[in-house]
A = this chain, B = another copy of it.
């Protein structure tokens, strides 16, 4: 069995499973980390150690890390934190891109539709990279009116890595805060918050093999965060609710695990490139989306004209290989995804895509097996 939907959600990584099994068998500690008693304090110490490990692993300061339930909550929190205050100061423009995850697009559109923000979308080129010139132009034109720029670090569908450090610089030249949806890059490529100069980053534990329902925000200036979940003062009053400490411990473990796997990135990338080249040799019309762009090591978004992505997905399942068509949230929508449309990809290609996304822990041979199965799949579907 090859699970090739890591960009959707990763299985628990081995180190996390071992930690949890051991922890469950050792029976604790379990308690409110905000309680004064010794058990609560032990839970708190573990949790704060996890925070320190996460901060270090991501190039952030300990005090910049706010734990929460995952990136979608992080996105909602950052938008809420920045936009209301900004609007009071006459900043009523929001800039994002056409290739963002629906969690960003839907949130941005909410502020456009219900809070009177003007919303501008930066276009992407055919290579799947956002247009920095357009960003420059918008910032030149609207200057002081821009409340926030929100552009992702790596695309969930294509795996294409965006020039987020450059975007940081462009935004800061115009004194505009930059929120970067780092959900897909963290765990799949080295990421350093400080070096990136991003103002706000988010992550989801379940994307990197940690427990579901875990995540964090990194805020350059945490005092700029305003909670959407108010609660009783937890997380320095920036995120209410008893922390998901069991999961947060696994966040630190998974990040450590990922770091060890960074040395495998080049190997995996080479293997993936070879797999893609082999497939193109066999199927000359094959289209690898974002082929020549900087991409996450283990994402291939591939389509054969005339074939239906869902049929490819189902056929691969018969080979015990689990991929998605476009975005994992697509609930059976068979039309070309918004991201592909934004890249100018035509339906003939767009309706045929499957996304093959592995983790950095993947066996290299997985690509051989995928190649064999995908070859048989294409041959079968073309023959029929």
Q: Which of A144-152, A166-174, A317-325, A365-373 contacts B (4 or more CB under 8 A)?
A: A317-325
Tally of chain A residues near chain B (CB < 8 A): 71
Is the pair B72, A244 in contact by a Cβ cutoff of 8 Å? no
Q: What B residues does A31 contact at CB under 8 A?
A: 3, 5, 8-9, 11, 322
Q: State the Cβ distance, A8 to closest chain B Cβ, in Å.
A: 4
Other-chain residue from B30, B35, B70 in contact with A242 (beta carbon distance below 8 A): B70
Is the pair A28, B11 in contact by a Cβ cutoff of 8 Å? yes
Q: Mark A306-333, 1 if CB is under 8 A from B, else 0.
A: 0000100100010000111101111110
Is the pair A243, B212 in contact by a Cβ cutoff of 8 Å? yes
Q: Mark A171-215, 1 if CB is under 8 A from B, else 0.
A: 000000000000000000000000000000000101000011110
Q: What B residues does A11 contact at CB under 8 A?
A: 27-28, 30-31
Q: Is A71 an interface residue (CB 8 A)?
A: yes
Q: State the Cβ distance, A276 to closest chain B Cβ, in Å.
A: 21
Q: Mark A132-151, 1 if CB is under 8 A from B, else 0.
A: 00000000000000000000
Q: Is A274 an interface residue (CB 8 A)?
A: no
Is the pair A229, B36 in contact by a Cβ cutoff of 8 Å? no
Q: State the Cβ distance, A194 to closest chain B Cβ, in Å.
A: 27
Is the pair B24, A17 in contact by a Cβ cutoff of 8 Å? yes
Q: Is A240 an interface residue (CB 8 A)?
A: yes
Is the pair B36, A12 in contact by a Cβ cutoff of 8 Å? no
Q: Mark A292-314, 1 if CB is under 8 A from B, else 0.
A: 00000000000000000010010
Q: What B residues does A38 contact at CB under 8 A?
A: 317, 322
Is the pair B106, A230 in contact by a Cβ cutoff of 8 Å? yes
- Classify the secondary structure of A's interface with B: loop
Q: Is A232 an interface residue (CB 8 A)?
A: yes
Q: Is A157 an interface residue (CB 8 A)?
A: no
Copies in the complex: 2
Given contacts A240-B76, A242-B212, A233 and B331 within 8 Å (CB-CB): yes
Q: A16 vs B230: C-alpha distance in the bound complex, in angstroms?
A: 29
Q: What B residues does A75 contact at CB under 8 A?
A: 230-231
Given contacts A5-B31, A11-B31, A212-B244, A102 and B71 within 8 Å (CB-CB): no
Is the pair A211, B246 in contact by a Cβ cutoff of 8 Å? yes
Q: State the Cβ distance, A218 to closest chain B Cβ, in Å.
A: 18
Q: Is A25 an interface residue (CB 8 A)?
A: yes
Q: Is A110 an interface residue (CB 8 A)?
A: yes
- Of all A-B residue pairs in the complex, the 8 with the closest CB atoms, nearest first, are A213-B244, A72-B241, A9-B32, A11-B30, A72-B231, A232-B329, A8-B32, A102-B232
Given contacts A213-B247, A232-B327, A233-B331, 4 further A-B contacts (CB under 8 A): A3-B30, A11-B30, A36-B331, A72-B230
18 inter-chain pairs at a CB distance below 8 angstroms, sorted by A residue, are A3-B39, A8-B40, A9-B35, A34-B331, A35-B324, A37-B323, A37-B324, A69-B69, A71-B241, A73-B241, A76-B228, A76-B230, A102-B233, A103-B232, A103-B240, A107-B231, A211-B213, A212-B246
